[in-house]
Chains A and B, each alone.
Chain A
Amino acid sequence: MKSIVSPSADSPDPVAESEARLARLFQPLDPRAASFIDIRGLEKTFVGDGAPVHALRGLDLNVAEGTFLGVMGQSGSGKSTFLAMLGGLSHPTAGGISVDGIDLYALRGERLADFRREYLGFVFQAFNLVPYLTALENVMLPLAVKKMPGGEKRRRALDVLERVGLSDRAGHLPGKLSGGEQERVAIARALVNEPPLVLADEPTGALDSETTQEIMDLFAMLNGEGITIVMVTHNPEIERYFDRIIVLRDGLLERDAPGAPPGAPG
C-alpha cells in the first residue's frame, strides 16, 4: 500500500513506530486466517423484549487485500450489523472475524479500540463530523490520542486534506461546508492514520449524483493505492466502482459476484 501522506524529513516515522507497537500488541496472529479479511460462521442475534432478531445467520467470507467490496441488500438485511462487526464495534453471537491475521474478538480490554485506530478508517453516511471542530481539526481527531509531535499531526492532516482537494477549506467549521465537502473531510479523517482498511456506510446516501460521482472517484483512487474498502450501499449506480459485490438477505449471503470489469472507472 502506498503512503497517503508524505514522510517528514525532520521527525521519526510515526507510522513505523505505531506499527511496531501494534505488532507487539496483537501477537500472536490468527493461524486460521486465510485472507486479509477472514469471516467464519458469523452470527448476530439481538435479544430484546420481543422475539430474538437474527441479523446475521452464519456468514462466511474471504476478502483479499486491496479489494473494493460493495455490500448491498435491502433494509434489515444485516448490512450495517455486518459493517459494525467488521469494525470491531459489535461482538458476534457466534463465529469470528480476522483482519490482517488479527482475530478481532479475541482482543481483550481496549485493544479493540487500538485496532480501530490503527487499522480502520470509518466513513459514515451522515458524515458525523464533530461540529465544533474545523475541517483540519476533525481530520486530526484520530491522531489526538497518538504519541506523535503536534507539528507532525498537523502536517499529516493537511497532507490528507490536500489529497481530497480541501486544503483551502481547512479552517472552516462543518456547518460552513457543503455536503460533498463534509464527505471529503470524513474521508480524510478516515485516511489520516493510513489504515489498510476503510469501512464506509452509505457514504453517498446524502449526496446528489454529481457529488456522488466525485466521491466515488476519490474512493476508487484510494483503492487504486492499495487500500481495502468495504462499502455498504443501496445505490445501484455505484456498483460499477466495486471489484466485488455481496448481497445480503435476511442475514444470509444471497449473492457474491465480481463487480466492475478491469478498466472500469477508478
Chain B
Amino acid sequence: MRLRTIATLSLLRRRARATFLVAGLLIGVGTVVTLVSLTQSLTGQTKADLQSFGANIIVSPRTKDVALSYGGISAGGLSLGSQTLDESVLKRIDAIPARKSIAVVAPELVGTVKVGARNVLLMGVRPEDQFRLKRWWSVDPGRAPSKRREMVAGSAAAKALKLTMGDYVSLGGRRFTITGVLQPTGSQDDQLLVTDLLSAQQVLEMPGKLTLIEVSALSAGTPVDTISAQLAAALPQAKVATMQEAVQSRVHAVGQYKSFSYAIVAVVVAIQALVVFVTMMGSVSQRTHEIGVLRALGFRRAHITRLILLEAVIASVVAGILGYLVGMGVTYVVLPLVASGAQVAWAPLLGVIAVGLAVTIGALATLYPALRAGAMDPTDALRAL
C-alpha cells in the first residue's frame, strides 16, 4: 500500500463524491473539447471552402487593351488572341519559393470558334486542375473530359447548339465528342465549350499559348500577398492580380469564430476550476477526522497534501479521458447541425491536451485545499473525534 493506493481506494469506494468530482471536470473538459473540435472542424471546412471558392490569384498578360470580364474576375486583356502568355511561364510558377503553398495551377486558353453559323467561346484547360479549382462545376449528365478531343458544353451553349452527351462537334476540321453538359452556373461558364488545352491550342492555332492562369493558394500556407509578390517577380511580362477581399473576409470570419470559442473556453475552465475547488474544500472539511488519524499515525504534512492532490489528479485523468470522448461525441452530433458537410477533425493531440488541461485544473484548484489539509493541526482534528 502506498499513498496512490489510498487515493485510488478513496475514489473507488466513495463513489458519490468521486462521481461528482469527475462529472464536474468531465463536463468542463467535454465542453472545451467540443468547442475546440468544432472550431477545428469549421476551420478545416473554411479552408476547403477557400480552395473550392476558386482562384485567388489571376495571372494574365500585360496589355493596354480594355479589360474584359470573365466570370466576375478582372482577367485583363482578354481580347481573344491579341495578348497571350507563353506556356513556359508554368515552369516559372513551379519554381517560386512558395510553390508548396499553391494548391492548384489552372492554365486556360480562351478563343472564339464557329460551330455551324454561331460564334462560341472555346476554352482549353487541363481538365483535372480546372475541375479541382471549380468545384461548383457539375457535369450532369455525363462526365468531365479525360482524353484529347473530348469536350463538355456549358448549359447555355449546349442549349443553343442543341448538344447532348454523345454528340459530336466539328471544330477546325477536328471532331470532338461531347462527354457531358455542365449544370448551369449563372456565370459566363454557361456559354463555354470546354476541352483539353492541347486540342484548344490546335483549333485556335495558338500552340503553346495561354490566355490566363488561375492560381489557388492554400489558405493555411504562405500569405496570398507573398505568393502574389513572388509570382510577379518571376513573371515580369504578366499581370498578377490578387482577390484579397474574398480571402480576407473568410479568414476574418474564421478568426472571429475562434476568438468567440476561446472566450467561452476560458469561462468554462474558470467555472470548472471553481467546481473542483469547492468540491475538494468540502472533501477536506469532511475528512478532518481522517486527516487527524493519519497525522497521529505518522503521516507528514507533505504526505497529507500529496494524498489530497493525488486524488484530484487521478480523478482528473479519468475526467480528461472521458471528457475527450464525450466532447468528440457531442461534436459528431452537433457539427452536422451547424455546418452541413463539414468533417469532424479527429486530433489525438486534442486528447492529450484535454487530459493535460483536466490534470492542470484539478491540481491547481486542489492545491489550496491540499495545503490546508496538510497544515491541519492533528490535535484539532483529533479533538473533533
Contacts and interface: CB of A to CB of B under 8 A. Distances in A.
Q: List 5 tightest A-B contacts by C-beta distance, closest first.
A: A117-B298, A132-B13, A110-B300, A116-B298, A140-B1
Given A89-B382, A113-B300, A133-B9, A153 B293 contact: no
Contacts of A154: 1
Contact of A89 (B1, B6, B379): B379
Given A128-B385, A137-B9, A116 B2 contact: no
A110 B300 CA distance: 6
Band of interface residues on B: 20 to 34
A265 B293 CA distance: 31
B10 A126 contact: no
Interface stretch (A56-64, A71-79, A142-150, A161-169): A142-150
B290 A144 contact: no
B297 to A, nearest CB: 5
B87 to A, nearest CB: 77
B147 interface: no
A25 to B, nearest CB: 13
A110 B298 CA distance: 9
Interface in A87-137: 87, 89-90, 110, 113-118, 120, 122, 124-126, 128, 130, 132-133, 137
A144 B6 contact: yes
B9 A89 contact: no
A145 B298 contact: yes
Given A128-B289, A150-B2, A142 B297 contact: yes
Interface string B3-23: 101100110011000000000
Contacts of A128: 289, 293, 385
Contact of B296 (A118, A122, A125, A132): A122
A159 to B, nearest CB: 15
A110 B302 contact: yes
A143 B1 contact: yes
Contact of B1 (A116, A120, A153): A153
B296 A116 contact: yes
Contacts of A193: 298
Interface residues of A, number: 33
Contacts of B301: 110, 113
A133 B298 contact: no
B362 interface: no
A246 interface: no
A141 B289 CA distance: 15
Contacts of A124: 293, 296, 382, 385
B1 A144 contact: yes
Given A110-B300, A122-B297, A153-B1, A132 B379 contact: no
A84 interface: yes
B126 interface: no
B9 A132 contact: yes
B4 to A, nearest CB: 9
A122 B10 CA distance: 22
Contact of A145 (B300, B379, B385): B300
Given A114-B300, A122-B297, A145 B3 contact: yes
A154 B131 CA distance: 72
